[in-house]
Amino acid sequence: MKIKTKEEAVEQFRITSIQEAAMKVIARKGYELATMNAIAEEAGVAKGTIYLYFESREDLLKKTGESAFGELNGLVTAAIDSHPDLEGRLGAVVRANLGFFEENREFFRIYLAFADRACEFQKRAHHPLYRDYLQTLTRLLEDAIVRNEARKVEPHRAAVLIGAMLRGMVLQRLADREKTDLDADVEFIVSVLLNGLEKVRNRS
Amino acid sequence: MKIKTKEEAVEQFRITSIQEAAMKVIARKGYELATMNAIAEEAGVAKGTIYLYFESREDLLKKTGESAFGELNGLVTAAIDSHPDLEGRLGAVVRANLGFFEENREFFRIYLAFADRACEFQKRAHHPLYRDYLQTLTRLLEDAIVRNEARKVEPHRAAVLIGAMLRGMVLQRLADREKTDLDADVEFIVSVLLNGLEKVRNRS
DNA sequence: GTGAATAATGACCGTACGGTCATTTCACTG
DNA sequence: CAGTGAAATGACCGTACGGTCATTATTCAC
């Protein structure tokens, strides 16, 4: 977004500050317990000030989550684009996910809040940004199937599975007390997926 | 638990009624929004009555979740015990999970609340019952490796992955508007896992 | 320097929660 | 049927939340 006037610059600065504060509070206390008072204190402004830049708590948290989620989306897309085949792409996607949340632990609570809330089953559909995320993975698989790098599976179903595996492994890694080897986990997930989606299928 | 006196029978009935009401409310409104007033209304008792049988909201929800989670644990264990080899066991485990939540949608919100809360990373370890669940899956894999039905992987890591896949697929199935084929999803997950964990590993 | 316009504030409001307890209802005994 | 102890009740309490707005502080043009 281009900044034209001084007012817009200040406004952008405030918005960014408040969103960063919101992320920190969510990281520290979780989504539900991230109160406006706590966010305001973290941002060093009064509670009322937040309402000059965001309509409501829901609005603030939604936009904050969208920023973080958008960043992950970008990383995943870039990871795919920088490799020509399924194996390289899967490795890059898995590494992008595990690495991203390793570096930015606080983002994960926001990601979780959105990916989980994304699927308020029986109520609404997925959140648009989560749909994008799944869509990116789906396209990756469609492409692999066309190229004959993977067997014919329902691409969206497989995308859901990959997303779930990444989510679960990141959660496990964050829960692990001592740091675990990133490469080993990436290799493991990729190998399971590559073999699992491989064309060759002749079991007993 | 054996019931000896009439008082104990009444007490057990009340406890069960309240827990069932809690499950229904959680299923309808979600974990955070399951208030004591709503649970009391659902159970057809006054709010104060709940506090005669449970110490607090936290106590009630914890015990309610443990009941539901314990049931799933039992199903998974039984599924494993009733098959001799990895393929059969995986199929039974996957089917038990997807089927269980298909029949009892309301349980899933409780399961989610626990599996997610189970991993309050940076705070505490997993919930004991979730540990049991993962432990069961871990033993399944250890056994398969010993029997040479699967390649040598870190069993606990693989168990986490399987749990995540099941969670994700159930969530997706519940989000799907029209009913999707259970057998197809079971077959898909099992095939990915079986191939993914297979001994043979000779890729490019 | 001054005053008008704009931004920031935090005391305050309504609401809804978890939890309590004096009162009422009930069940059972003699 | 009267009396008594236990069980159930729901009005009530303190608290903490999201959100508001009259007041105060700041900025900026002239």
pLDDT digits (tens, 9 = 90+) for A46-91: 999 999 999 999 999 999 988 888 888 999 999 999 999 999 999 9
CA atom of A48 to C1′ atom of D15, Å: 21
A156 and A148 Cβ atoms separated by less than 8 Å: no
Instruction: Tell if the CB–CB gap between B121 and A175 is shorter than 8 Å.
Output: yes
pLDDT at B6: 66
A92 and A80 Cβ atoms separated by less than 8 Å: yes
Query: Among all strands, which nt has the closest C1' to A34 (CA)?
Result: D17
CA dihedral A15, A20, A24, A29 (to 10 degrees): 30
The helix (run of H) or strand (run of E) holding residue A197 is helix A182-197
CA atoms within 13 A on the CB side of A4: 0
A60 and A54 Cβ atoms separated by less than 8 Å: yes
What mean pLDDT is predicted for residues A178-187? 94
Total-model pTM: 0.85
For residue B201, what are its two tokens?
């590993």
Q: How many CB atoms lie within 10 A of CB B74?
A: 12
Only one residue has tokens 């540990």, namely B131
Which of B26, B32, B138, B161 to substitute to test the interface with A, most A CBs within 10 Å? B161
For residue B19, what are its two tokens?
């827990």
Distance of CA A131 to the CA centre of its chain: 11
For residue B95, what are its two tokens?
């089917």
CA–CA distance, B6 with A204 (Å, rounded to integer): 57
Chain A residues 159-178 within an 8 A CB cutoff of chain B: 160-161, 163-165, 167-169, 171-172, 174-175
Between these two residues, A28 and B82, which has the higher pLDDT value? B82
Task: List pLDDT tens digits, range B14-60.
Answer: 999 999 999 999 888 888 889 999 999 999 999 999 999 999 999 99
Residues with CB under 7 A from strand C: A 7, 10, 14, 45-49, 51-52; B 6, 34-38, 47-48, 51, 56-58
Which of B39, B76, B111, B97 is closest to A121 using CA atoms? B111
A59 and A65 Cβ atoms separated by less than 8 Å: no
Which of A195, A198, A201 to substitute to test the interface with B, most B CBs within 10 Å? A195
Instruction: Tell if the CB–CB gap between B192 and A193 is shorter than 8 Å.
Output: yes
User: Which range among A78-92, A100-114, B66-80, B171-185 has the greatest average pLDDT?
Assistant: A78-92
pLDDT at B1: 43
Between these two residues, B4 and B141, which has the higher pLDDT value? B141
Only one residue has tokens 């402004």, namely A45
Answer whether residue B197 shows pLDDT above 80. Answer: yes
Per the prediction, chain A carries an average pLDDT of 87
Task: List pLDDT tens digits, range A148-163.
Answer: 999 999 999 999 999 9
Q: How many CB atoms lie within 10 A of CB B60?
A: 22
Answer whether residue B176 shows pLDDT above 90. Answer: no
Task: Compute the residue count for chain B.
Answer: 204
Which protein residue lies nearest to nucleotide C27, measured between its Cα and the C1' atom?
Answer: B7
Surface-to-core class of residue B185, CB atoms within 10 Å of its CB (0-12 exposed, 13-18 middle, 19+ buried): buried
What mean pLDDT is predicted for residues A30-59? 95
What residues in B contact A127, CB-CB < 8 Å? none
